[in-house]
Structures are given as structure tokens and as C-alpha cells.
Chain A
Amino acid sequence: MRWRSCVIAAIGLVALVGAARAQGTYGIGRPATPAEIEGWNIDVDRDGGNLPEGRGSVAHGEEIFAQQCASCHGAKGQGGVGDRLVGGRGTLASAKPIKTIGSYWPYAPTLFDYIRRAMPQSAPQSLPPDDVYAVSAYLLYLNDLLPADAVLDATRLAAIKMPNRAMFVDDPRPDVKNVACVTGCSDGK
């Protein structure tokens, strides 16, 4: 019967489209391949998930830092055109807080994530993983979070507990209340 062949044809068509594209209302775009995703996905999560293989020492990190980073961040990470990266512990509740990797950053793997994606500013994504581990190690050493002879890899980086980790809270706003006084208000400021 004619209607039945139509239904069968329709089911066949759906199956065909489904084979080309597993999902999707519009059938727009094409599947991204695992190799394409691996090449672009440089996200490292706070627990160190997606950190690449590799390792780097504090000593090697000091060399890389001197070549690639010190012109902006200072030889010891004390800051310059670029952010200060070292010190500042115990200043966050003061009138002049100093926010650095050691005093402020909550998660150590973020260091690898950020250096790899954005540093050095003149040539981001140019450092191989070993060099990124090494620079991360040097910066953690300068912040008293690794010993001078340390070698950093994914496991060791993920195991570091940053000092300021517990000091972040969710957004509590609205936190400031004003009353819309209209006449004879005592304090307009």
C-alpha cells in the first residue's frame, strides 16, 4: 500500500540522516574528530584533569623564566609591566592586599593551564609541556610551595594545596541595601 511505502521511506530517511549525524534538529555542522578535540582542548581542571604528560624541575624553570618571563615579571617574579607573582601571604585582609600565585590563587593546576594558554605574552602556546611544568615549579618554589630540588609532573602539581584555597565563597549579592527615600531624606550620600 502506498501510505506504508511512504512510512518505510520516511523511516529509511531518518535512519540515513541519523547515520550521518547522531543528533541535531537542524543537521548543521559536522562531527569534530577526537584528534581535532585533542589539539584544541587545553583546559586543565582544578584537580589536574587533562594535564599532559611531562615533567620539569625548579632549576630548569628558573632558566626558562629568565629567558621568557623575567622581562615583564621581574627576575624573581616581583612584578614589572606584568603582574607580581610572588609573596603577599597574609595581606589579603589588609588595606593593601597583594594578590599573587602564592597569596591568592586557589588551585595549582590553573598555573599550568594559564601559562600554557597565554604565556609568554609574545608567543603563547609555544612552550612545550616540560617547560610549562618547569616554569610552574619555579613559581611554586618562589612562593615556598615546592623545595628547590623539586621536579613537577601532573601528579605532583595536582597534589599541591594552595594556601588561599578555602577563602573563596559564592556570590551573596544583593548584599547592599538602599531605601528609596523620596522627601526630606537625611543622608543623600
Chain B
Amino acid sequence: MTAPATADPDDLAAPSRRHLLRQGGALVGGAVLLGGLAGAEAQAAGVGADNLPPNIPGWMTAPGEAMGSEPYGLPSRFEKDVVKNIAKNLPQYLSAAARTPLADLDGIITPNGLFYERHHAGVPSIDPVQHRLMVHGLVDQPLLFTMEDLRRFPSQSRIHFLECSGNPVYTKPYGKTASDLVGLLSCAEWTGVPLKLVLQEAGLRPAAKWVVAEGADAAALTRSIPIEKCLDDAMLVYSQNGERLRPQQGYPLRLLLPGFEGNMNVKWLRRLHVTSEPAYSREETSKYTDLMPDGVAREFTFYMEAKSIITRPSGGQRLSAPGFHEISGLAWSGHGKISRVEVSVDDGKNWREAELQEPVLTRALTRFRLPWQWDGRPAVIQSRAIDETGYVQPTLAELLAVRGTNSFYHNNAIWPWHIGADGEVSNALA
């Protein structure tokens, strides 16, 4: 896929030092410094003392912005550097990807503006009044729905992750940060109608085995979905985290297939063709297939297997000093709930069970945490997810031994971070 974007130290200017100081971190030499700073260190990092005790902060001595200055709210201006991670100098940006800045986020819900993106022919601007969903093929009655029609169906909201299948690829250069490595990953609360209700409205014929979903973008992207998934937990989604889908996420309508690779969750959905066979479209034959060392390619590789990543501390950050640091990260599985996450702080020799933040939801991101005392010596930290099927997240070596380096998709390897004596966190496998 795309080369990971590398943060340019020159881009990390003074405002972000201030905001990171407030969060208990600061930037030193391009790395995010983790750990509290005393006042003297704050000054050394370039922050004035006017707003610090015993002085009265300037924002208390005059009224703030009047109501209505921002009809659609935006993050604080001090958070302006928390943005999507988009590779620089790509040959083109119509079929490209943008990563979620995983290390900058807490909890399990990805803000809509930071949700990862992957499109195959740009982002269309669709008037919802003129958008239609057609259901045809092996049905008793082909139907056409307006968006208003679809919102009349019984609705539901569920929290699920989405992940691109090429996240990361199998070959070097591996990314420097958690976002570079697995930033094609996000999680949201989705609202829409169960797909089975819409299919049943048209009436499935006995020969119906697949549903070919097509987007209304300039790629008319097409993927075939097995009917079992369509009648299970698949949804037609119109809202994300409470508001209507963003254009980048398929406005006004997308398919959601919990646990299946991202590109199958067809955005800007306009057509469902019920068939007896897959379409064998270009995307599901020549693109999203997994090439093995012997030249055989796996097709219809739908599920995203269990995976985890430590996001704090992670690549590009720096531990300010020995002492207490919370290790925190994300785990997820396309096959169901995460049952356990284990963390090693000694290069994989010993593993401890991390605490999972409730609620632990099926096919959703799960936040894990482990308290840690760093002794100031070089260390390798890593996490390992185990899902409710008993599947254990593999190491990269185990994965490469079976799949080789040409497979491109579905790399769910354990990813260790190296912590230097100076606290610098870097990719231990790079």
C-alpha cells in the first residue's frame, strides 16, 4: 500500500509543546515526551511562567469566546497537530489511504474526523435526496430505496472496528509509529438498518448465495459478500458516532460487515445484486487476494484475525524518566471478543495479563492497560491478543514462516517496541 508518513521534527512546533505539556508530555528532539515535568523543565521546554502558579492564568481574567462562534465544534487549537497521517509525495492521491493517529487517542472510539480512510477513486459528493439503493437479482421483488425509506426501517446502533487488510504490509520499511504500522484501523458506533431486513423486504430466492455490493464512487467498487454474513450481523449504515456518515466514510450510505476487511464495507452504497456466485470482481481477484510463497493466492480472505498494539509508549515517543509508566494499547478480533491481552516488558521472556477496559465488545476495539515501573534500562515491550475462539496473535517470524513476504494482506503480527536507555521508543523490528 502506501509508504508510512514520517513526522518531520520541524513540523512539531511550539504550540504542540504547550498542549503536550498540559497532557503531561512534551516534545524533545521530535519525540513526544511521556511523563510529568516540573516548572523549571517546563520553562526549559519553552513555556512561559505567566499562566503558572502563583500567577493567575490569562484565560481567567477576561471572558472567553461567545456562544455561537463555532456552530460545528472543533478541537482546541492546541490540538491542531492531531490529524490523519497521510503519506507525503505519493504519485497520486485518488486511490490512497490516510491513517488514524492511534497514539494520540484514548479509549476505543475514533473521532469521525480522524477515522482512517481508503478510497479507490476519490471521495464523491453525493446529494442524499438523489441517492438510491437498488436491490435486485435473485429476489422476488427488485426494490429501489431512498435514504428516507431506509431510515424508516427498524434501526440499531453497534460499536465495531474497521481495519484495512494491508495494515501493515509484510516487507520493510516498517513504520516508525503505531499509526504508521496499524493506523488503518478505527472504531465507531454505527447506526443503520440490519441488512437482512432490507433483503427480506425484497424476498430472497432459494438460489441466493452471495450479494454483490457496489459503491456510487468513480471506482464503482464491487465486492461479493456471502449470504450468511448478510443475514447475520451486516448493516446498512447511515450514521457514525451519532452524526450522519462523513463523505470519506461513505455518505449517505455504507455497508458494515463487522470483522471483515475494510474494503468489503462498501462505501457510498448504491446497489445490492443478489446472486448465486461471487462477482469475481477485479478487487476480489487481482487486488485483495493473498499471494503465498509458492505462487498460489488465497481469495475471499474476509476475516481480520486477532491483533493488538501498544499505543503508549510507542514509536516516536520518549519516556522522560525511569519510574511509573502506564502501558496502554488496543486489541481487536474479527472473530469476536478479546478474551485476554498479555504484555511482556522483557523482550518476550515473561508475559503478564493486562487489564481490559469494560465493556469488552465483539468485533470492537478493546483498550488494555498494564502498570509498569521502568528501571531506566533498555527494554522491549510488546502485547499479545487472544480472542474468544482461543486464537493467539502470532509473532512476525511465525507469520512470515507460513506466508512469506509477498502476501501483502492480513499481517496481524505482534509488534514490539524498543525503549532505549534515553527513553526513546522505536520499532524493534524495523
Question: Which residues B237-282 have CB closer than 8 A to chain A?
Answer: 270-271, 273, 275, 277, 279-282
CB-contacts of B190-212 with A (<8 A)? 197, 200-203, 212
- Cβ of B394 < 8 Å from any Cβ of A? yes
B360 interface residue per 8 A CB criterion = no
Q: Give the chain B neighbours of A92 by CB distance below 8 A.
A: 291, 295, 297
Q: Which of A1-50 contact B (CB under 8 A)?
A: 21-26, 28-32, 36-37, 40-43, 45-46
Shortest CB-to-CB span from B231 to chain A, Å, is 15
> Does residue A183 face the partner (Cβ distance < 8 Å to B)?
yes
CA distance A173 to B395 in the complex (A): 15
B391 touches which of A125, A171, A174 (Cβ 8 Å): A174
Q: Is the CB of A180 within 8 A of B392?
A: yes
- Least Cβ distance of A106 to chain B in Å? 5
Chain A interface residue count, CB cutoff 8 Å, equals: 60
Expressed in whole angstroms, the Cα–Cα distance for A80 and B150 within the complex equals 42
For residue B355, which residues in chain A have a CB less than 8 angstroms away from its CB?
none
The smallest beta-carbon distance between B282 and chain A, in angstroms, is 4
Which residue in A31, A113, A183 is a CB contact (below 8 Å) of B142? A31
Chain B residues 393-430 with CB under 8 Å of chain A are 393-399, 401-403, 405-406, 410, 414, 416
The minimal Cβ–Cβ distance linking B283 to chain A, given in whole angstroms, is: 9
Partner of A184, one of B142, B342, B350, B414: B350
Residue of A nearest to B289 (CB): A168
Residue A178 at the chain B interface, CB threshold 8 Å: yes
The digit string for A165-189, where 1 denotes a CB below 8 A from any CB of B, is 0011111111111111111110111
CB contacts (< 8 Å) of A24 on chain B: these are 141, 143, 200-203
Closest B residue, CB atoms, query A80: B91
Report yes or no: B281 in contact with A114, Cβ–Cβ below 8 A.
yes
Q: Contacts A43-B212, A121-B218, A171-B299 known; A110 to B285 CB distance under 8 Å?
A: yes
- A97 interface residue per 8 A CB criterion: yes
Residue B302 is within 8 A (CB to CB) of chain A in the complex? yes
User: Do B285 and A30 have beta carbons less than 8 Å apart?
Assistant: no
Instruction: Decide if B94 is an interface residue (CB 8 Å cutoff).
Output: yes
Most buried by B among A99, A118, A181, A187: A118
A76 to chain B, nearest CB (A): 19
Given A21-B141, A107-B285, A169-B299: A175 in contact with B350 (beta carbons within 8 A): no
Cα–Cα distance between A188 and B416 once the two chains are bound (Å): 10
A117 at the interface (CB under 8 A from B): yes
Residues of the B chain whose Cβ atoms lie less than 8 Å from the Cβ of A43? 212, 214, 222, 273, 275, 279, 281
- Given A31-B144, A173-B301, the answer on whether A184 and B349 have CB atoms closer than 8 Å is yes
Interface residues of B in 40-57 (CB under 8 A from A): none
Contact A171 B273 (CB under 8 A): no
Decide yes or no whether A52 CB sits under 8 A from chain B: no
**How far is it, in angstroms, between the C-alpha of A16 and the C-alpha of B267 when the chains are bound?**
37
Q: Nearest chain B CB to A90's CB is how many angstroms away?
A: 9
Whether B201 contacts A189 by the Cβ 8 Å rule is no
B333-347 contact mask (Cβ, 8 Å, vs A): 1 or 0: 000000010101011
Residue of A nearest to B397 (CB): A189
Given the interface contacts A167-B296, A168-B297, does A174 sit within 8 Å of B305 by beta carbon? yes
Q: Is the CB of B342 within 8 A of A180?
A: yes
Whether B348 lies near A171 (C-beta < 8 A) is no
A40 touches B296 (CB 8 A): no
Bound CA–CA A121/B217 (angstroms): 11
CB < 8 Å: which of A25, A31, A97, A185 contacts B348? A185
Contacts of B22 in A (CB 8 A): none
- By a CB distance below 8 angstroms, the chain B residues around A180 are 340, 342, 351, 384, 386, 392
Which of A32, A45, A183 is close to B135, meaning CB atoms less than 8 Å apart?
Answer: A32
> Which of A45, A105, A173: most chain B Cβ within 10 A?
A173
B361 sits at the interface (CB 8 A) = no
Whole-angstrom distance between the Cβ of A185 and the nearest chain B Cβ: 6
Q: Which residue of A lies closest to B220 (CB)?
A: A117
Shortest distance between the CB of B9 and any CB in chain A (Å): 30
Tell me if A183 and B140 are in contact (CB < 8 A): no
Partner among B144, B286, B392, B399 whose Cβ is within 8 Å of the Cβ of A105 = B286
- Taking the nearest CB of chain B, how far is it from the CB of A6, in angstroms? 27
Mask for A80-113, Cβ within 8 A of B = 1, else 0?
0100000000001101010101001111001001
Contact A93 to B303, CB < 8 A, known contacts A24-B202, A32-B134, A172-B298: no
Min C-beta distance of A129 to chain B, whole Å: 16
Q: Are A31 and B141 in contact (CB under 8 A)?
A: yes
- Asked whether B358 is an interface residue with its Cβ less than 8 Å from the other chain, the reply is no
- Minimum CB–CB distance from A176 to chain B (whole Å) comes to 4
Q: B127 in the interface, Cβ–Cβ < 8 Å?
A: no
Q: Cα distance A104–B290 when bound, in Å?
A: 12
A54 at the interface (CB under 8 A from B): no
The 27 listed contacts between A and B (C-beta, < 8 Å) are A22-B141, A23-B140, A23-B201, A24-B143, A26-B152, A40-B270, A43-B222, A45-B279, A46-B280, A81-B91, A92-B295, A97-B295, A105-B282, A105-B286, A106-B285, A110-B280, A114-B281, A118-B220, A169-B297, A175-B402, A178-B392, A178-B394, A178-B414, A183-B350, A185-B348, A187-B397, A188-B395
Sorted from nearest, which 3 A-B pairs have the closest CB atoms? A188-B348, A93-B295, A23-B203
14 additional A-B pairs beyond A22-B203, A99-B286, A110-B286, beta carbons within 8 Å, are: A32-B144, A41-B273, A42-B220, A43-B222, A43-B279, A46-B280, A81-B91, A92-B295, A95-B406, A101-B286, A169-B297, A174-B391, A178-B394, A189-B416
